[in-house]
Amino acid sequence: MVLGIGEGSIELVLEKTGYRPGETIRAKAKLHLNAPKEARGLRAEFFGEKEERRLHSDIHGRTHHSTTTVRVYEQRLDLGQQRAYSEGEEFQFEFKVPETAIPVQQGLLGALAGALAPQVRWFVSVSLDLQMSLDISKKIQVQVVK
């Protein structure tokens, strides 16, 4: 296959897609591979990202803005080390949603500031780190609510 395209896929199943701070995310990853694959490892991640807008000036003094994605939280688990991975292997794992996943807003001004602040998007992902090829990965967005 060309650079890992068509090598296989990962099925990622979550117990549910909505969580509260402090809850445990329980998940299962199942490998769907065309043939056994030598990989450097299998990793799961739970992370939060938000968009940040930045103002900057060009050499003519004109103001422009750019948007970048910033990780604000991250947990990683190694589900497997360097070895050959086979079709149908399953891996179960858990992450705990941090208690601080949703900042507490005090009063009317705090609530207004919270409503205007960029929202954090939360994801669970699994990636099989293939040697000399594109990784096989799967990412699912989860909701974290009060």
Read off the pLDDT of each residue in 10-20 and give the average, rounded to a whole number. Answer: 96
* 123, pLDDT greater than 70: yes
Report yes or no on 2 lying in a domain: no
* 1, pLDDT greater than 70: no
In the chain, how many domains are there?
Answer: 1
CATH of the domain at 25: 2.60.40.640
SS (H, E, C) the chain: CCCCCCCEEEEEEECCCEECCCCEEEEEEEEEECCCEEEEEEEEEEEEEEEEEEEEECCCCCEEEEEEEEEEEEEEEEEECCEEECCCCEEEEEEECCCCCCCCCCHHHHHHHHHHCCCCEEEEEEEEEECCCCCEEEEEEEEECC
Report yes or no on 3 lying in a domain: no
| Domain limits for position 133 | 8-140
Q: 84 versus 110: which is more confidently predicted?
A: 84
58-99 confidence digits (pLDDT tens): 788 788 788 899 999 999 999 999 999 999 999 999 999 999
* 56, pLDDT greater than 80: no
Report yes or no on 145 lying in a domain: no
Report yes or no on 146 lying in a domain: no
Report yes or no on 1 lying in a domain: no
Rg (CA), the chain: 19
